[in-house]
Amino acid sequence: MREERHDIVVVGAGPAGSMTARVAAKRGLDVLLIDRNLEIGVPVKCAEGVSAEIKDIVTLDEKWVCAKPKGAHIYSPDGTKVVMGGENIDVGGYVLERRIFDKFLASEAARAGAQLRIRTEAYDVIKEDGYVKGVYVHGMDGDTRIHAQIVVGADGVESRVGRWAGIDTWLPPSEVTTCAEFLMCGIDVDLEYSEFFVGSQVAPKGYAWVFPKGGDCANVGLGICGDVSGENHRAIDYLNAFVRNKFPAGKVVAEMYGATPLSGPLKESVAGGLILVGDAARQVNPLTGGGIAYAMYAGEIAGDVIAKAVQEKDYSKKRLQEYESRCKDKFGKRLDTGLKTKEFFFGLSDDDLNGLAHSLEHVKIDEITPRALLAELIKKNPKMLFGLAKKLL
């Protein structure tokens, strides 16, 4: 078996892994970024929508921005429309082309000095004296033992890297959403608004979305909680029904499937010589399922903490816990709010959801964030949402 040595090895070249690699390489570390796929960004397992916050993390490039919706329309089970954002907002968010965006981030890591290797899959970690000291990988040249001071697991939901290191990354069905999505063309799309649909008939314990991708194309998908998924009631079954009803003449040009954690962040995302980032650390808003911005923030923090740990030659769990603390300070409150809100809304009936939508039918919500929507809902429905408001205070 071949042997290699690097300061750090990052497993997974999604937004979290690439950002970690980029920051660490900029700080002068010998970084290896590996991905098991033949092509970075493929297959796409994402709705590709992201808040306008992303422009605070990375310079936008029109090459990987498909649409810039100004607002969002949320439809209750009876079709009542709630409007967020609109004419007074320049850009309410972005719909990305992840195939290009992920390649861009990986290229930025390479430009910073990281080595990038595709078709390379980790199959175990190297452990010595209670520390993770590298990974075993299978690549185009066979098996290799890659030694590293720190391993970064950016390998997605139920991280195998984390599990091999001794962290419990298993998720019960009730804490994961299964998603199905079509890229559709030949449909009537409102380019200025993303659309969301809720209700037990559309997507139980979840929602459906329509994200414009330019012209007559859109990402049309939905996610449902794992504990309501079953025979003839899978995400793809609900999606097929939704598409038949809303876009009967549309053409499906691509299919995408994936899963998203809804549990809130892992209680422990570090160990001796190990850091988990992005979906691997469950850094996803449990209410919306959105995680791109959080993954990128986490990658920036991880790269900085790793650089300092290598400089200090301290790879202990205690040293790396700075990463957890800084992530909590940066976006922990938002994820906690999302978790509490998700748990509350999952208990509502279709009639409850209709009532909430009716209360906002003529209300203008300028800010396109879950926080703004919740504030208006609580204001209009103080008795019904008293329990939720109490939890969030």
* Domain count for the chain: 1
pLDDT number for residue 258 = 92
Judge whether 92 lies within some domain.
no
d(CA 336, CA 340): 6
The arithmetic mean of pLDDT across residues 263-290, rounded, is: 96
pLDDT band per the 50, 70, 90 thresholds, residue 24:
very high
Note every long-range contact of 356-362, with CB atoms under 8 Å and residues 24 or more positions apart, other chains counting: 356/76, 356/380, 356/381, 356/384, 357/74, 357/75, 357/76, 357/78, 357/80, 357/81, 357/82, 358/76, 358/80, 360/82, 361/80, 361/81, 361/82
Judge whether 314 lies within some domain.
yes
Residues 111-150 as b or e (16 or more Cβ within 10 Å = b): ebbbbbbbebbbeebbbeeebbbbbbbebeeeebbbbbbb
What is the residue whose two structure tokens read 């090459």?
63
What is the residue whose two structure tokens read 């298993």?
170
- Say whether pLDDT at 381 is over 80: yes
The arithmetic mean of pLDDT across residues 243-271, rounded, is: 95
- Say whether pLDDT at 28 is over 80: yes
Judge whether 122 lies within some domain.
yes
Work out the number of other CB atoms within 10 angstroms of the CB of residue 311.
11
- Say whether pLDDT at 255 is over 80: yes
**What number of CA atoms fall less than 13 Å from residue 227's CA on the CB side?**
9
Judge whether 70 lies within some domain.
no
Burial environment of residue 94 by CB neighbours within 10 A (0 to 12, 13 to 18, 19 or more)? buried
DSSP secondary structure letters along 69-115: -SEEEEE-TT--EEEEE-TT-S-SEEEE-HHHHHHHHHHHHHHTT-E
d(CA 151, CA 156): 15
| Domain extent for 334 | 2-44+99-172+265-341
Burial environment of residue 102 by CB neighbours within 10 A (0 to 12, 13 to 18, 19 or more)? buried
CATH, residue 9? 3.50.50.60
Judge whether 79 lies within some domain.
no
Handedness of CA 128, 129, 133, 134 (dihedral sign): positive
Q: Residue 243 — φ and ψ, nearest 5°? A: -70, -40
| Alpha carbon 381 to its chain's center | 30
Q: Assign 123 to helix, strand or coil.
A: strand
pLDDT band per the 50, 70, 90 thresholds, residue 142:
very high
Judge whether 56 lies within some domain.
no
- Say whether pLDDT at 393 is over 80: no
H/E element, 294: helix 292-312
Counting every residue, how long is the chain? 393
d(CA 12, CA 20): 10
d(CA 121, CA 351): 48
Strands 31-34 and 115-117: parallel
d(CA 326, CA 304): 11
The arithmetic mean of pLDDT across residues 119-146, rounded, is: 96
pLDDT band per the 50, 70, 90 thresholds, residue 217:
very high
pLDDT band per the 50, 70, 90 thresholds, residue 88:
low
Q: What percent of the chain has pLDDT over 70?
A: 98
Q: What is the pLDDT of residues 42-77, one digit of tens each?
A: 888 778 889 888 989 999 888 999 999 999 999 999
Q: Assign 2 to helix, strand or coil.
A: strand
Q: What's the chain's average pLDDT? A: 94
